[in-house]
Amino acid sequence: MNDPRLQSPAVARNRQPILEVLQQVLPERARILEVASGSGEHALYLAGAMPGWRWQPSDPNPRALASILAWREAAGRVNLLEPQQLDVTGDWPAGPFEAVVAINLLHISPWTVAEALLAGAGDALLPGGVLYLYGPFRREGRHTASSNAAFDADLRARDPRWGIRDLEAVTAAAGRHGLKLDRVVTMPANNLSLVFRQPQAGQATLMPAR
């Protein structure tokens, strides 16, 4: 019988650095929605590391959903919930959430997906909640490494709607949905962690400086 569990070599390299950033910005008890969970390995690791996190994985792809479910059943972690089918451009699960997490999504999807993610997170997060984005980004219109430039060219050749996004463009779009950039963390393999926050009740939302 075929094992539906998918595996991504990159997960083993980046899961611990991602965990460390999330531990810095989230409380020990939190409801977290992960979009585009893929194989489910990040969900498995992060939920296992923090038992107080109630982790809701999701993905639009049936194969990914089968993989997430198989990892979940093998591990038996009660705080890792059954995956939900979610296309961020459609209806979202009922919130609110302390965090929305998207790992390696923005560069392998059209910009309309980024806009839908930012809008959905703006609606789904509690006051003070976090939108966490991980992946490669350009800064001030430039790639942070030559390998990222080559990767970007390959992505755009595969689909012209794909490509590494500008940090400033993502920040501006997030601001239109009430999300303020809280911090940028340099990660391994020329990636970044972007942490956006939903302002607390009564806190003014300022557009990012240009």
Structure tokens, 110: 């059209």
The C-alpha atoms of residue 98 and residue 40 are separated, in whole angstroms, by 20
What SS3 string covers 43-90? HHHHHHHCCCEEEEEEECCHHHHHHHHHHHHHHCCCCECCCEECCCCC
Cβ–Cβ < 8 Å for 121, 93: no
DSSP annotation of 109 reads S
The one-digit pLDDT tens for each residue of the chain (210 residues) are 589 999 999 999 999 999 999 999 999 999 999 999 999 999 999 999 999 999 999 999 999 999 999 999 999 999 999 999 999 999 999 889 999 999 999 999 999 999 999 999 999 999 999 999 999 999 999 999 999 999 999 999 999 999 999 999 999 999 999 999 999 999 999 999 999 999 987 654 444 433
The C-alpha atoms of residue 101 and residue 82 are separated, in whole angstroms, by 16
pLDDT in tens, 135-157: 999 999 999 999 999 999 999 99
pLDDT in tens, 109-124: 999 999 999 999 999 9
